[in-house]
Chain A
Amino acid sequence: MENTVEVDPRAAAVRRKSSAGRVLQTVRKHYFLYVLLAPALILTLIFKYVPMYGAIIAFKDFSPIKGIMGSEWVGLKHFEKFLSSPNFDVIFLNTLKLSFFGLIFSFPVPILLALMLNQVRRAGVKKNVQLFLYAPNFISAVVIVGMLFIFLSPTGPVNHLLTWITGEPLMFMSEPKYFRWIYILSDIWQGAGWASIIYVAALANVDPELHNAASLDGANLLQRIRHIDLPTIRPIMAIVFILAAGGIMSIGFEKAYLMQTSMNLPASEIIATYVYKVGLQSGDYAYSAAVGLFNSVINVVLLLTVNFIVKKLNEGEGLY
């Protein structure tokens, strides 16, 4: 109905004259749409934008009594404190290494799984394999880490096996050098199957005739995968990679915090867990908010950079 009005030249003239009035009019006419939008909009303004404003405590000496407005400005004091603290190098590098290696090792696994699943010709078998591969995705971080502690404890089954082979148990959860491996491998264990879904679906859309023709031309299986399957999923790979690389500094708090023991802190303390401890456990709100803000700014810059690079490499196909 609206469209007919839009095409009418007289209406267009009216619109040009008083666009503000027209906006008001459409709002009144379609108030129901605004009613539907309102809850999400209001909640977002309160719980997302008010905290963005609240983040200015990072530049203040925040005292709960004076409130956000009343507290005194201190400029970049908290940022300087963080950047010059002896913790900074360790925590920053821990965060970077954990997510960078996580990305490098986790990224190819779902792709490999999908390419392999795609070669399973019997649909029933494929479905059952998928059922198992996806299942760990539904296990909570608490349970995953709980299982890690049980399995990898000095008296647990893994060390049972190790002592039997090498005669010596390994202190998996207390030695810092194992932390990253355990974190990343358990991530792959839990998430790789689930992450393959999107690739599996894309591969299912490949025309079987293509494979047929290629094999008639003498292409072997590896060549067909390389020249037919891989190009099919390349755009998806780019998107998944951008999203993962952009989130590199926002690596999840939940699992890392659970895996921390007082012994493995030199490797397991990351920005997210540090913000939580300094802010909510020690009550140093302003400093902790500064660390958090520092992290989110890096994150945004990273996301934009990676998107830019992939756009260049991928013939103009980025995400934004």
Chain B
Amino acid sequence: MAVKHSPFDRFLLILNGLFLTVAVLLIVVPLVYVVVASFMDPTVLLNQGLSFRISDWSLEGYRKILSNPAMLRGFGNSVFYSAAFALVTVTVSVCAGYALSDSRLAGRKIFMTLFVITMFFGGGLIPTYLLVKQLGMLDTVWAIIIPGAVNVWNIILSRTFFKGVPNELREAANVDGATEAGIFFRIVLPLSKPIIFVLALYAFVGQWNSYFDAMIYLEDAKLHPLQLVLRSILIQNQAAPGMISDQLAMNELKRLSEMIKYSAIVISSLPLLVMYPFFQKYFEKGVMVGSLK
């Protein structure tokens, strides 16, 4: 049975609809602008703004971006870093979460406290950097994957989840002669696929979008992830180093630089924005599991 609305309520609801429409437009318009601008001849864009005539459109920006070796390498690096990071961090955190969920683990309160303290207090940037340097991890993939691998939040989430797995399942397996490892790998893990998937998704996206660790730990440009390459194109205005071979090309680049920026944004955001609607419910689930604590 629906709530009956007075005229005043109905007026408010119309207002509500208007506000939400404006909110959606505020988000959609800039994004659409970027996509349309990425196809547009830069001179037309500068003089007239957006145009929807096909003759004003060009694929030059994409051609330049896709033929840029730094961009392609960055893309490849990012795929690798994000996947490897997601794999490591989820494995480490979920295993710890499982161990900590088991009441037979002596000292689990102490361990938990050790983990939680690191959420609120840390040695800071410089001591961490010096340590990574001392371990010889500078300019290696390890610097991206290992120092941040333990995610306490993920440990808490998975621990909460494992606590919810009925004990009878484990006991039954125990009676059937399964070992502790067997219970974990064959019974508990298969049950946890959804939460593992959610955590991995978050880890992947987080790594894909970050640039800080790469900036401080990786000097070798060959190792740079996509976000660092993007940073040099979008923010430091070094439109595609390595593409500039002569003066003519340089002028051409200057003319195209805006267009290259737009295309770079589209190309780099595309993977996430395309997969996002399919995974939306998993992402939302992640937020909800997180709120359980």
Contacts and interface: CB of A to CB of B under 8 A. Distances in A.
Interface of A: 1-2, 23, 26-27, 29-30, 32-34, 36-37, 39-41, 43-55, 57, 68, 113, 116-117, 119-121, 129-136, 138-143, 145-147, 149-151, 155, 157, 160, 189, 193-194, 197-198, 201, 208, 211-212, 215-216, 220-222, 236, 246, 253-254, 258, 275-276, 279-280, 285, 288-289, 292-293, 295-296, 299-300, 303
B140 to A, nearest CB: 15
Contact of A52 (B1, B121, B269): B121
Given A37-B95, A160-B49, A276-B216, 13 more contacts: A23-B107, A32-B181, A37-B111, A46-B131, A47-B150, A51-B131, A147-B30, A149-B235, A194-B287, A198-B287, A258-B235, A280-B126, A303-B120
B230 interface: yes
A193 B284 CA distance: 12
Nearest to A52: B123
B245 interface: no
A297 to B, nearest CB: 8
Given A143-B268, A289-B126, A40 B93 contact: yes
B208 interface: yes
Nearest to B147: A47
Given A138-B205, A142-B230, A292-B124, A1 B27 contact: no
Given A44-B114, A135-B276, A220-B9, A30 B105 contact: yes
A72 to B, nearest CB: 17
A1 B49 CA distance: 74
Given A52-B121, A146-B265, A285-B126, A201 B288 contact: yes
A243 to B, nearest CB: 11
B238 interface: no
B54 interface: no
B291 A198 contact: yes
B105 A37 contact: yes
B248 interface: no
Contact of A149 (B26, B179, B234, B277): B234
12 contacts: A32-B179, A41-B111, A43-B92, A49-B114, A55-B127, A141-B227, A142-B211, A142-B231, A189-B27, A212-B1, A212-B3, A215-B4
A43 B142 CA distance: 13
A155 B46 contact: yes
A150 B212 CA distance: 22
Contacts of A129: 20, 23-24
B149 A146 contact: no
4 closest cross-chain pairs (CB), A and B: A51-B123, A146-B234, A54-B127, A292-B124
Contacts of A133: 23-24, 27
A216 B287 CA distance: 35
Contacts of B205: 138
A198 B233 CA distance: 36
A67 to B, nearest CB: 9
A40 B118 CA distance: 12
Interface string B184-199: 1000000000000000
A39 B96 contact: yes
Contact of B127 (A40, A57, A208, A276): A57
A136 B17 CA distance: 21
A155 B104 CA distance: 65
Given A36-B98, A157-B33, A211-B3, A275 B265 contact: no
A130 B181 CA distance: 42
A212 B287 CA distance: 30
B171 to A, nearest CB: 8
Which of A23, A29, A134, A193 is the most central at the interface, judged by chain B CB atoms within 10 Å of its CB?
A134
B102 A147 contact: no
A104 B250 CA distance: 46
Contacts of A23: 106-107
Nearest to B287: A197
Contact of B211 (A141, A215, A299): A141
A204 B50 CA distance: 41
A280 B127 CA distance: 11
Nearest to A41: B111
B280 interface: yes
B30 A119 contact: no
Contacts of B180: 30, 32-33
Nearest to A130: B280
B51 interface: no
A151 B100 contact: no
Given A37-B99, A150-B262, A212-B3, A54 B123 contact: yes
A45 B49 CA distance: 56
Contacts of B34: 147, 150
A120 B120 CA distance: 38
A147 B265 contact: yes
Which of A39, A138, A157, A212 is the most central at the interface, judged by chain B CB atoms within 10 Å of its CB?
A138
B53 interface: no
B230 A143 contact: yes
Contact of A116 (B8, B20, B99, B125): B20
Contacts of A299: 120-121
Contact of B96 (A41, A48, A116, A276): A41
Interface in B72-115: 91-93, 95-96, 98-100, 102-107, 111, 114-115
Contacts of B105: 30, 33-34, 37
A146 B261 contact: yes
B283 interface: yes
A51 to B, nearest CB: 3
